[in-house]
Structure 1
Amino acid sequence: MWLILLPLLAIGLARLRFDVEVFDLLPPDLRAVQGLKIYQEHFANARDLLLTISAPGAEQAEAAARSIAERLRVETNLVAEVTWEPPWLEHPEQTAEFMAYLWLNQAPEAFRQLTNRLAPEKLQAVLADAREQLATSMSPPEIARLSYDPFGLTRLPEKVAGAAPSFGEGQEMFSSADGRFRIMFVQARPRLQTYRECDEWLRRIQAIVQGGMGPGQASGVSLGYTGRPAFVSEVALGMQHDITLSVGGTALIIACLFWLAHRRLKPMFWLLALLALILGSTLALGGLIFGRINVVSMGFAAILLGLAVDYAVIHYQEALAHPELSIPEIRRAIAPSIFWAAVTTISSFLVLNFGGLPGLGQLGTLVGLGVGLSACIMIFEFLPPLFPDRREPKSHAAAEAGTGGARRAERETWQAPTGPAFAETKPARVKVVFGLTAAVAVSAIAVLLWLGRPPIDPTGDALRPRNSPAYAAMDEIQKHLTKEREPVWLIVGGRTEAGVARRLDQVQAVLERSASNHLIAGVTLPTALWPSPEFQASNRSMALALAAERRTMDHAAQAEGFAPNSLALTDRILEVWQAVGRMPGVFWPTNKLSQWVFRTFAARTPTNMFALGLVAPMAGQSEASRSQLSLVEEALPREDVWLSGWGLLGSSIFSRVKANLWKVLGPMVCLVLLSLWLAFHRPREISLSLAALLLSGLALLTVMRLVGWSWNLLNLMAIPLVLGTGVDYSIFMQLALRRYNGDLRMAYLSVGRALLLCGGTAVVGFGSLAFSTNAGMASLGRVCSVGIGCNMLIAIFLVPVWWSGGAKPPQVPKA
């Protein structure tokens, strides 16, 4: 078998890559997910780092931002661009191209009014009016504008003036109202394609920033980092932490538990070696099947360790309990238990593929592969090196002698006072167990009736990292610059500028109605800024005519007393019109300032174009607000229009997970029932296993309610996992009871102790996920560990007494 597997494993390891993108965990057909992917790909530059600066005073914050920007700009091998204030304040000469574009993009009637106003015979009156306003105005911004724009070319029509950026201060894009909080954009020079590159680049930037502030500037200043490089670096560090803690910690605890149970080093080290082999082989098979494995799916490793050890421990305990049996005889004796336990466990993880979350589906597939592999490896490879003299069945005489010796030892042990408490199912013991069962059930039902069921969290918070500095910095930006409202992005796509413009008009009408109906608080769309091929084509001839009057306009201005440098903006706008008037196609501004502005609302690829708008939801993030956004989404055009945001994403995914839950639970329940029937063929034993599942479910819900845990879009998938893995314990226990004719003590010695160890390792495997840096995986691990722990304890300590019904163990025959 290994000769066949080795080439496949080698190919899988060669293909294996780790994926840190959270969106690859989500269902790709959801429009909210599609919208966020488009936003991340085209509007959130993969190389942009957002740096936040908080200081006690506005002057200190500004000084720190300027000092950091100057220091970063020197590092040209690391940084391509740094923007810490509106670009037009640093490069005012570049505003001319954008103003020329905005005029070209106006309706022909508006541009014709401009040409009429600037007709040669009217220039003197226009300039005289400008000079009079300079002499009488009390507004500093108005005086500044007229001093470099005497012809009023920056005075745009009202419709576009509200949408275009203000070329005055405009600090609200970079600074809070009080000036004590600022942000800057740092664009990386490298492409930052891998998480290692992101982490290394961010570390170097952080070191430069810390040393970039001058003496005294660092006092009281706090810095934050967010954006894709920060998120990816954080996820990568979280992955390393999770793998080290969960896998290393789980392996260590497995070794300690095995040592405490058996006090033998050789089987312990052999067990750890086989677990490492299983883990590596499963990872290689994952690389062969998927190619890229998401870092969140790497949680499979700890789960697999906790489950794979079961098959080894069951075999080992059976071998110790029956020294007269050979290894093949042990395999045959417990084959039904192993087979049906493996089937239900594998199936419980494979059905995660129907849950609507590709990330969890990938995790389920990896664990399913690993459990199947571990069952085969542990069955055939674990015992032979430990018991080399038991590889083949003994002769008949030796077997008889061995059996007699075993029975004598059995009888002696049976009479020992150190046997388990339920070695004989005394009536008092039966009453205690059934009383405890009733008390647990009644208490759980009472708590759930009094406090209610565990709450449901429909948001996308389960997808976020816990204790994330990058998210904390993003929350600070939202708090200071976006009025504490989480943005909802509206993305409009198309193949041409005209197609996007038409859809923007359609969307504008829908959103204005939604705002009037109080479904949303407001909307900001780039309709007035998006290029209009039709208007540009109509305005080109008029723009050329105005550009031809450049000398006339210069002479008129100088005659009215305006200095030549006050005409620089006008001359540059006329130059742009003269150049664009002879250009074919749609005009897009090209200088750095214009590109920076367009990057906030427009994106182009060789085949598609996208426009970005913002929808302001009603105050709060309540269920009512989310339902209102859902109504707005339904009213929008379906083709090439996406409404998306983290709040909307969470509710959309949760709705998908809830809708798909029956696809997961239905097959799982059917499979559990089928497995129980094929394993037992007795309604009574099937009923006992179902009763154990029901009681453990009540216990799990009670614990969740008492400690304040809630259901979310990830830990809902714990339900099939607890069903599939939890039923194994009752299968093992009842088959052992049947094998030993109701001898509770022998069932406990051969299987019960092993199940304690197996259950403990499974709880540890899932429980290690509770320390995961991903909030959803941590909640999934907590719920699974509690549910499986309850299943295991009930199967070992309650089910045997339920099964025996008070019957005494059989008499051990004399030797």
Structure 2
Amino acid sequence: MTETSRWRGWRALAWLWLAVVLAVGVHQWRFWHESRLESDVMALLPHDAHDPALADATQRIADASARQMVVLLGAADAQQARAAADAYRASLQRAEAVAPLPFVESGSVSGWFEATREFYRPWRDRLLTDAQRERLRDTAPESLAEESLAALYGPVAAPRMTSFGEDPLNLWPQWWQARAAASGMRFDADGLLQADDAQGHALTWAVLQFETRGSAFRLDGERVIDAALDDAAEAARRAAPGVRELRAGVPLHAEAAAVQASREVNIIGLGSLAAVLLLVWLAFRSLSPIVLVAMSLLVGIAAALSVTAILFGQVHLLTLVFGASLVGVAEDYGIHWFAARQGHPRISRRSLLRMLLPGMFLAWLTSALAYLALGLAPFPGLQQMAVFSAVGLGAAFLTVVCWFPWLDRGEPRPSTLSRAMEGWMSRWPQARSNVRWWIAATLLAAVTAGGLWQLRSNDDLRNLQSSPKVLIDQQIEVSRVLGLPSPAQFFLVRAADAETLLQREQQLTARLATLTRDGRIHGYRAISDWLPSQQQQTGDAALSARAENAVLTQVGAATGESFTRPAFAPQALTLDAWLASPASQPLRALWLGRSGDGVGSVVMVDAPGGDDMLGLLSTQAQGIDGVRWVNRTAEFSELLGHYRRMMLGLLLAGGVLVFASLWFRYRRDAWRAMLPTVLAGLLTVALLGWLGQPLQLFNVLALLLLLGMGIDYGIFLLEHRGDASAWLAVSVGAASTWLSFGLLALSATPALRAFGLTLLFGIGLVWLLSPLFRPHAQAAHG
């Protein structure tokens, strides 16, 4: 193939890449209009492909609260609480982001309570507590009748929910009280909650529930939901001065994450972009390099976002924050082009491209392999980051290769920075085998060994979460007041059919009820507490009918009145009827439905934290078929530790593969490109140990990227031996990468902060070490 025909083919490739970039631009317009962003931290974690029932349970619990928020308004008395709730609700009726949930539009739970009470009325006789069953079995009808007469004609009448004839033993209020006690809540007749706040002050709380409007809430970095609730809280304080507001819910955390991510993308992305452009200006003193390098970055990030959205359906906010740091890596190719143009002004652009292409391609390949190594772990979040980064680098590389030879028409001129770098290169020391260097190596080994000795690991799942402290504190207090169980620890119940499942739940809840009475746990939530098994319903109906008929007969004989027990539903309450009723609304997420060869449900527990309590709860499932204790926090933390160790092994394997690829091209000089990165990685980990920073998965992932990026510097110095332009490209590229990834150390997310800190040390060290092992200018690689 002639030079002319080869160049024509390159021109065709440039036009083809333009068509691809235009298609990416069209996709970007659609993407940002559809708002396909994900903020749930659990979406970053692996799915339970080996355990569909557990995966379904986790997903249902998450889905149940994905759009819902709870607001508590605490006041000194019921009148103030109701006034505050009315003002709060009225303010939110004008908001576009939030809507009240059904059965709570009155500002309390009374709407749901009224609907649920009417639903249960036909089956009142089938709803008994354990204490009631024991009392009806062991107490003589005469004694029960005397107790009923005393309650009926005594000076202080017990509160009733029905007439005496419908419920002569007043069993139903006791059943409702037991339901409230099991859930840790104490409501009055108006549906208001009586509970102490964190300071021990007795308050009356109005409980309001809301959900975000539409299929998803906005995640554009604006405080839409929070601002609406702030306005409503202000209206409530005007209506009831001194009212206390608490708010909780997934949308609040999601919006806080979106606001934080938007801020960090601006700081990290725009900050690193500004740093890159400033460095390019200082290095080349021309507008053309700034425009073209910025264009390659823009194309790279846009292509990365589009491909990630197409492959995964949506893009996680942490992927965007992580991808913002890609600016510091993707500019290396453009900088290398302009540095070579500046250092070799007499070489034609065609010849220059042929000279640079092998080294640039090898640099891109090693970096892309390091990024793609992130995707080997079954973490959806890491897979997104891997695809985003590898595609972004590839698009930036193709932009430089396809377009720069055509678009770069300027005359390169040396700058003050380029001249200074040439002087620094000539004065930079080279490692030699003498006493001074051996002493330095010994000291370095001692520092490294000391840091590694102090290093500790931490795989806590909370390293992935970064909600504001005030929001977490309110969530904790709302959970305490309402007795909300943790969604991360629960019992998973499985059975062949619904009847067997409810019976197994009842075995479990009998044990949990004992722990509740003993004060070991605060409460629990189970479907069987609101929908007893048909076996138990049948037994309860017979027991209550026998006792109540006897009591009505004896009370009628004593008073001379005639009482007739009403007819209740002849058939037991079924699961389908219960699920279709308002009674099931707070508990529907606990029903997993049918999957595989059976049905499933979840029993959630409100218990104090601590390993001892979690150990106690895990023993409650022993001996009950189909019941399993699940601790998602511990499981995910253990999983993070497993993948941290796996990635360490992968890092070693990746190092071997990278060295093999270097050996293929550089033979005996391959170690010169490899050793600086290895030393920088060891020193970085040692520094983390000296600083008391624990080693976690994201530190190891950063070391993987350091392997891919650090090798680039050695490759450029080997490809262009003694060429000051190569050192200029390495220095400017390293500085911009160091700034962009170093800015991740400012992230509020602990995982990204650890990632940024690792690369902050690693990139700086590999830049310092690479020229120490550079070959002599006259050497030639084999």
Shorter-chain TM-score: which interval?
0.7 to 0.9
Instruction: Select which of 434, 444, 454 maps to 1:440.
Output: 444
C-alpha separation between the residues in 1 aligned to 2:557 and 2:39?
Answer: 60
Measure how far apart 1:313 and its partner are.
Answer: 0.9
For residues 556-614 of structure 1, what are the alpha-carbon distances to aligned partners after superposition, in whole Å with 9 as ceiling and x for unaligned? 4995799xxxx9xx98xx57x24x6498776528775x346645855769999654324
Asked whether 1:301 is paired with 2:326, we answer no
Structure 1 residues 358-757: aligned runs within 5 Å: 358-387=380-409, 419-420=423-424, 422-423=426-427, 436-449=440-453, 452-453=454-455, 455-477=456-478, 488-492=489-493, 496-504=497-505, 524=524, 526=526, 527-536=528-537, 556=556, 559=559, 574=566, 577-578=568-569, 581=571, 588=578, 592=582, 594-595=583-584, 598=587, 611-615=601-605, 620=610, 628=615, 641=628, 643-645=630-632, 647-658=633-644, 660-661=646-647, 664-682=650-668, 685-737=669-721, 746-747=722-723, 749-757=724-732
In the alignment, residue 670 of structure 1 is paired with which amino acid?
V
In the alignment, residue 152 of structure 1 is paired with which amino acid?
N
Q: Any conservation in 1 of the 2:83–2:236 contact (CA below 8 Å)?
A: yes
Measure how far apart 1:90 and its partner are.
Answer: 9.6
C-alpha separation between the residues in 2 aligned to 1:192 and 1:427?
Answer: 62
Measure how far apart 1:718 and its partner are.
Answer: 1.6
Measure how far apart 1:694 and its partner are.
Answer: 3.1
Query: Any idea what SS the aligned residue of 1:490 has?
Result: strand
Name the structure 2 match of 1:59. Answer: 76
In the alignment, residue 252 of structure 2 is paired with which amino acid?
A
In the alignment, residue 304 of structure 2 is paired with which amino acid?
T
C-alpha separation between the residues in 2 aligned to 1:20 and 1:495?
Answer: 36
Instruction: Select which of 195, 200, 217 maps to 2:241.
Output: 217
Measure how far apart 1:448 and its partner are.
Answer: 4.0
For residues 650-708 of structure 1, what are the alpha-carbon distances to aligned partners after superposition, in whole Å with 9 as ceiling and x for unaligned? 423324423532563254223222222123111xx333344322321232123323433
Name the structure 2 match of 1:79. Answer: 100
Instruction: Select which of 727, 751, 759 maps to 1:776.
Output: 751
In the alignment, residue 207 of structure 1 is paired with which amino acid?
D
Measure how far apart 1:532 and its partner are.
Answer: 0.8
Query: Any idea what SS the aligned residue of 2:170 has?
Result: coil
Q: TM-score, normalised by structure 2?
A: 0.78
Q: Any conservation in 2 of the 1:199–1:232 contact (CA below 8 Å)?
A: no
More RCO (CA 8 Å, sep 6+) = 1
Name the structure 1 match of 2:172. Answer: 154
Measure how far apart 1:115 and its partner are.
Answer: 11
Name the structure 2 match of 1:252. Answer: 274
Asked whether 1:194 is paired with 2:217, we answer yes
Report % sequence identity.
Answer: 17
Asked whether 1:29 is paired with 2:48, we answer yes
Q: 1:690 to 1:345 in 2, by over 3 A?
A: same
Asked whether 1:206 is paired with 2:230, we answer yes
Q: TM-score, normalised by structure 1?
A: 0.75
Q: Any conservation in 1 of the 2:370–2:705 contact (CA below 8 Å)?
A: yes
Name the structure 2 match of 1:129. Answer: 147
C-alpha separation between the residues in 2 aligned to 1:437 and 1:151?
Answer: 88
C-alpha separation between the residues in 2 aligned to 1:634 and 1:545?
Answer: 35
Name the structure 2 match of 1:235. Answer: 257
Aligned residues: 736
C-alpha separation between the residues in 1 aligned to 2:81 and 2:407?
Answer: 67
In the alignment, residue 578 of structure 2 is paired with which amino acid?
W
Q: Any conservation in 2 of the 1:692–1:794 contact (CA below 8 Å)?
A: yes
Query: Any idea what SS the aligned residue of 2:424 has?
Result: coil
Query: Any idea what SS the aligned residue of 2:393 has?
Result: helix
Measure how far apart 1:462 and its partner are.
Answer: 1.4
Asked whether 1:5 is paired with 2:27, we answer no
For residues 511-561 of structure 1, what are the alpha-carbon distances to aligned partners after superposition, in whole Å with 9 as ceiling and x for unaligned? 899x9xxxx9798463544431334456668889999x8997899499579
For residues 746-776 of structure 1, what are the alpha-carbon distances to aligned partners after superposition, in whole Å with 9 as ceiling and x for unaligned? 43x2211211110111122222323334332
C-alpha separation between the residues in 1 aligned to 2:244 and 2:173?
Answer: 40
State the superposition RMSD in angstroms: 5.1
Q: Any conservation in 1 of the 2:183–2:523 contact (CA below 8 Å)?
A: no
Query: Any idea what SS the aligned residue of 2:213 has?
Result: coil
In the alignment, residue 759 of structure 1 is paired with which amino acid?
A
Measure how far apart 1:18 and its partner are.
Answer: 1.9
Q: 1:371 to 1:443 in 2, by over 3 A?
A: same
In the alignment, residue 24 of structure 2 is paired with which amino acid?
L
For residues 490-522 of structure 1, what are the alpha-carbon distances to aligned partners after superposition, in whole Å with 9 as ceiling and x for unaligned? 243567421422443675699899x9xxxx979
Gapped runs of 5+ residues in structure 1?
A: 391-405, 738-745
Gapped runs of 5+ residues in structure 2?
A: 1-15
Q: Any conservation in 1 of the 2:225–2:255 contact (CA below 8 Å)?
A: no
Q: Any conservation in 1 of the 2:498–2:599 contact (CA below 8 Å)?
A: yes
C-alpha separation between the residues in 1 aligned to 2:266 and 2:355?
Answer: 38
Q: Any conservation in 2 of the 1:84–1:174 contact (CA below 8 Å)?
A: no
